Amino acid sequence: MRLYINVDHVATVREARGTDEPDPVRAAVLAELGGADGITVHLRGDRRHIQDRDVELLLRTARTPINLELAVSEGILDLAESWRPHQVTLVPEKRREVTTEGGLDVSGPAAGGIREALDRLHAAGIRTSLFVDPEEEVVRRSADLGPSAIELHTGEYANAAGGSEAAAQLERLREATDLAKHLGLAVHAGHGLTYENVAAVAAIQECEELNIGHSVVSRAVLVGIERAVREMKERVLRARIG
């Protein structure tokens, strides 16, 4: 099982101040030291967190593979083709959403755009994944489009009230995983996974990659604050001594 760490929200903090820290590229180096098997970033059309510069630097400096999340949109696909990251995960994107809501629509007219995007990405030698809901019909339609993998949306599992509701959502993820493997797809999972709820998803043997962001960045703030304050205090006190 590979653990990819999504560093988008390091960039969210940076963008809140419009400055150059914290740098998601530096965070990626530390994530790798912590054992991350890959780094995930979502280059949104509105550039609300990750910037083009971040992706370019990550591709030059990361020691692990980069999974670039993006929407099916002309300008961003052009960038992905020229950058050639290890993997592109196609995701839905809505302007007003706080985070990615729901999986890709893989039916109707949307499917044509996805198929074209996959063809372009494969021609550029990029591994591909589609972020989709764990539903039989969606998994079947996804397989027809020919990606290398699907990433199962774990949001409904993560939001389940617990007990039987969580068990039912977990069963959906297991069934979708079995079907996807049967159809020849690699299976990834992510969204809303936390230190508390990750174990059951990580235990799905056929799932080979997890993408986790918010919970890890949130924890990093808490486990890091004591040291950060100590370092600042040392500098302040040292300045007084002269």
* Residue 211 binding ligand PXP, by CB under 6 A: yes
Write the secondary structure of the chain as one string of H (helix), E (strand) and C (coil). CEEEEECHHHHHHHHHHCCCCCCHHHHHHHHHHCCCCEEEEECCCCCCCCCHHHHHHHHHHCCCCEEEEECCCHHHHHHHHHHCCCEEEECCCCCCCCCCCCCCCCCHHHHHHHHHHHHHHHHCCCEEEEEECCCHHHHHHHHHHCCCEEEEECHHHHHCCCHHHHHHHHHHHHHHHHHHHHCCCEEEEECCCCCCCHHHHHCCCCEEEEEECHHHHHHHHHHHHHHHHHHHHHHHHHHHHC
User: Which of 49, 69, 153, 156 is an active site residue?
Assistant: 69
Among 44, 55, 190, 209, binds ligand PXP (CB under 6 A): 190
Nearer to ligand PXP, 42 or 141 (CB): 42
191 is catalytic: yes
Q: Catalytic pick from 49, 153, 188, 191?
A: 191
67 vs 143 by CB, closer to ligand PXP:
67
Q: Which is nearer to ligand PXP, 179 or 209 (CB)?
A: 209
Interface with ligand PXP includes 218 (CB under 6 A)? no
Q: Does 212 bind ligand PXP (CB under 6 A)?
A: yes
Work out whether 42 is an interface residue with ligand PXP (CB under 6 A): yes
Residue 201 binds ligand PXP (CB under 6 A) = no
Nearest distance in Å: CB 230, ligand PXP = 28
Distance CA 134, CA 189 (A): 10
In the complex with ligand PXP, the residue whose CB is nearer, 196 or 226, is 196
Cβ 189 to ligand PXP, closest distance in Å? 8
Contact 91, 42 (CB under 8 A): yes
Task: Tell me, letter by letter, the H, E, C secondary structure of 104-115.
Answer: CCCCHHHHHHHH
Of 31 and 232, nearer to ligand PXP (C-beta) is 31
Per CB under 6 A, the list member of 10, 106, 193, 204 interacting with ligand PXP is 193
Distance CA 127, CA 39 (A): 14
Catalytic: 69? yes
**Catalytic status, residue 56:** no
> In the window 77-136, what residues touch ligand PXP (CB under 6 A)?
89, 91, 99-100, 131
Question: Interface residues with ligand PXP (CB under 6 A)?
Answer: 6, 8, 42, 69, 89, 91, 99-100, 131, 151, 190-193, 211-215
Give me the active site residues, please. 42, 69, 191
